[in-house]
Structure 1
Amino acid sequence: MCGLPLVAWLCSDWYLIGLSTSVPAIAIYIYLWYLPESPRWLLSIGKHEQASKILYKIAEANNKSEDTSVAELNSMLRKLVAKTESEERSKKS
């Protein structure tokens, strides 16, 4: 909103103002289709395999993929979720 006066000053027509403010929003909306889900959110809804695949892609991007495989990540995530659930149960009782 702070940059809108500058856009209005640079663009001489309402059509150009509308276009210059809409195109970036459309580009961000399209990019959201390619953005992966958060591994933390995927774990919270029980999608362990998808979370481990995304974590493996992150490890590949950081050149750490040789340390673990997708199956190892999946088993670690299942253990982590089981431990977290058992801690939550012990806190409730």
Structure 2
Amino acid sequence: MNTVINIKTDQKVKDEAKKIAKEMGLSLSAVINAQLRQLVREQEIRFSVAPNMTSYLENIAKEARSDYARKKNVSPAFGIAESAARYLHGK
């Protein structure tokens, strides 16, 4: 027998979740039920958030990859901290 669970959530979150579920061919109820079943089966909750970089950070990362590929602004590797300090201080 099915039962009803009432929860409070932000309307925008609900709408976006419903939209994403629909794009995946699922109802929001199916998604929530799957999560509840997983909780019961594994007796743990995992939260995973994919990192989303800002456009500013994406540009910096792109520039860093480009610099690295061209060996620009790349320091050598150091075996000991004193060598790194001498390199940084120009000695």
- Bigger fraction of residues in helix: 1
TM-score by length of 1: 0.26
Question: Higher RCO, 1 or 2 (CA under 8 Å, sep at least 6)?
Answer: 1
Q: Name which one, 1 or 2, has greater alpha-carbon Rg.
A: 2
